[in-house]
Amino acid sequence: MTSLQDSELVASDSMETSLLKGVGKSSKGYGKVLLGVGLGVAIALIGSRFLASDSGPVEPSTPAEATSSVSAQTVTVAPVQVGQVAEQLTVTGTVNPADLLAVTPQLSGLQIQQVLVNEGDRVAAGQPLVILDDTNLRTDIQRAQAQLEVAQAQLQQQQANLAQARAQFAEAETNRQRYQSLAAQGAVSSEEADRRATQAVTARAAVGVAQANVTSAEANIRSQQSEISRLQTELTRTTVVAPLAGIVAERPASVGDVSSTATEVVSLIQGNQLELFAEVPQAQLTQVSVGAPVRVTSSTDPNIRVEGTVQEIQPLVDPQTRTAQVVIRLPESERLRSGMFLTAAIQSGQRSGLTIPAEALLPQPDGSVRVYLLGPDQTAVARTVEIGARVPGTGEEGDRVEILQGLDSGEQVIVAGASYVQDGDTVTVAE
């Protein structure tokens, strides 16, 4: 028995004793009632005591421990490699057309009816650029065609006259010969024979006149046909077309202007060819060579990334700025426009250096650059690095970046998934 059970027994005995004493003092009727109540309470106390002793000790309940498991981030890694890094000279410059062609109309005095292109548009050779008003030309063509019809009718009339003159001449010549024979026989007078001869001569002259009239009518027809051909040629010139493929650099023409063969309506960049005129300091000119590859980018448009080549190093140095212009030939690109301000990284040599994929770099708000290494226990380890030149990728391989400080050759950097991990996170390397 425990001390709690002993205490309960003592309390039960005391209650039984006090109840029995009370029964003795009360009347006979009340005594029986009190005796029954007392026995019931005693039985209840004794029962609870035995029930408590039979049941085992109740252990205090404890809250279940909360368990959570965090899935490891899946990443890819790449080794820090030693590779060739291009030494670069970074300069800036302005895009200019390699060759600017001024397009002028071939007709003067006609009003511009339509302008079909805008600055920056790419055009093909023969593409319409400007439409001139051709109303007067069409009227002139109709007039010339009517005059041609008149000339053709005149020719027919002159040809008929020629035929008649030839017939009259033939008749006069026959009469001349006949009367000459009769005069020789004495059948007619010599005066009559002479008159017939004169008529033959006159008829011959009339044939010549008729022939000249036919020739003149034919010349008139040719003249009218030439005029119509000229007007039709001018009619085709009312559409000003691009003489070659290019980019519209300027479009000074406007609807309503009067055309002039001395005034350009559009200027084209021939062959869509653009060049970057970069300013290179005098002290760094020795680092630049013709044919050197150049990577051209824009600080305002990250989509502009093209490869050019140094085409020319101009011989003059500006005495004020002490710089010389280097002409960089640019490839065709829909994003490039004349007048753009771009940055050019001219390759001036090569050196060995540590490189990692550019995708592994994580720029920080304070201007530093961070990468995550793969630790020996499959955890991400943050490392701040100093970067150098960018190495352009080839084929499917992306760009790489030179690491000047912060990494060692052979270390594994996290590439894909680097932006989703924190220092100390457990990672899973993808196969």
Q: Rounded CA gap, 368 and 266, in Å?
A: 49
The CATH architecture to which 271-351 belongs is Beta Barrel (2.40)
Q: State the pLDDT at residue 48.
A: 43
For the stretch 306-361, pLDDT in tens is 999 999 999 999 999 999 999 999 998 888 888 899 999 998 888 889 999 999 99
Residues 6+ apart with CB under 8 A from 50: none
Closest CA to 314 of 343, 271, 275, 347: 275
For the stretch 410-419, pLDDT in tens is 999 999 999 9
User: What is the pTM (predicted TM-score) of this model?
Assistant: 0.51
Q: Rounded CA gap, 323 and 314, in Å?
A: 10
Q: Rounded CA gap, 286 and 116, in Å?
A: 47
Q: State the pLDDT at residue 93.
A: 94
Q: Rounded CA gap, 133 and 244, in Å?
A: 23
Average pLDDT of the segment spanning 108-129 = 92
Class in CATH terms, 352-429 = mainly beta
List % helix, strand, coil for the chain (3-state, nearest 5): 35, 30, 30
> Strand 128-132 relative to strand 81-97: parallel, antiparallel, unpaired?
unpaired
Q: What is the largest CA-CA distance in the chain?
A: 219
How buried is 169 (Cβ within 10 angstroms: 0-12 exposed, 13-18 middle, 19+ buried)? buried
> Strand 73-75 relative to strand 427-429: parallel, antiparallel, unpaired?
parallel
Which amino acid, one-letter code, is at 244? L
The CATH architecture to which 100-132+239-268 belongs is Beta Barrel (2.40)
For the stretch 294-321, pLDDT in tens is 999 999 998 998 999 999 999 999 999 9
For 186: left if phi > 0, alpha if psi spans -120 to 50, otherwise beta; the answer is left
Q: Rounded CA gap, 169 and 60, in Å?
A: 154
Contact 121, 248 (CB under 8 A): yes
